[in-house]
């Protein structure tokens, strides 16, 4: 990428790390706007807004709510606990669907947690 030209707005996530690294040049000025938001300023005054860097792009710039992310993380944690504690031979190297009961328990716990925050 040529740092003399502002990049296209249509970069995919896997390109973001290379894009960010290419913007770290002496020719470009970085201005911190607030947490996870920077202005990258070219010598001719053109400006790009950079929302988050690295892995934070997935979390802070996603259209998925943090509540959905917490449900996913809780589900993954319970699945890992099950795999770790299962007797040898219970699971083969394959793809398995989690029991509906597990999803129901996670949802119930999170709904109770959210409702307690409202008191």
What is the DSSP code (8-state) at residue 47? E
Instruction: Let me know whether 81 and 102 are in one domain.
Output: yes
Is 112 inside any structural domain?
yes
In the chain, the number of structural domains is 2
pLDDT digits (tens, 9 = 90+) for 50-75: 877 766 566 666 666 677 777 788 88
60 or 99: which leads in pLDDT = 99
Is 52 inside any structural domain?
yes
pLDDT digits (tens, 9 = 90+) for 77-94: 888 888 899 999 999 888
pLDDT digits (tens, 9 = 90+) for 6-30: 554 444 444 667 777 888 899 999 9
Instruction: Let me know whether 30 and 56 are in one domain.
Output: yes
pLDDT above 70 (res 2)? no
Side-chain-facing half-sphere of 107: CA atoms under 13 Å: 5
Instruction: Let me know whether 34 and 73 are in one domain.
Output: no
Is 8 inside any structural domain?
no
Determine the straight-line distance between the first and last CA of the chain, rounded to whole angstroms.
52
Contact 21, 11 (CB under 8 A): no
pLDDT for residue 29:
93
Cα Rg, the chain, nearest whole Å: 21
Instruction: Let me know whether 75 and 100 are in one domain.
Output: yes
Is 3 inside any structural domain?
no
Q: Say whether pTM exceeds 0.85.
A: no
Give the number of other CB atoms < 10 A from CB of residue 23.
20
Helix (H) or strand (E) holding 40: strand 37-41
Q: What residues make up the domain containing 86?
A: 66-117
């Amino acid at each position: 990428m040529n740092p003399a030209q502002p990049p296209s707005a249509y970069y995919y996530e896997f390109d973001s790390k290379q894009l960010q690294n290419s913007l770290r040049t002496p020719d470009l000025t970085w201005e911190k706007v607030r947490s996870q938001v920077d202005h990258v300023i070219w010598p001719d005054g053109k400006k790009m807004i950079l929302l988050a860097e690295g892995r934070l792009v997935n979390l802070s710039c996603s259209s998925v709510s943090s509540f959905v992310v917490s449900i996913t993380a809780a589900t993954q944690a319970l699945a890992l606990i099950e795999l770790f504690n299962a007797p040898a031979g219970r699971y083969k190297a394959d793809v398995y669907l989690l029991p509906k009961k597990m999803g129901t328990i996670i949802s119930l716990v999170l709904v109770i947690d959210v409702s307690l925050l409202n008191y």
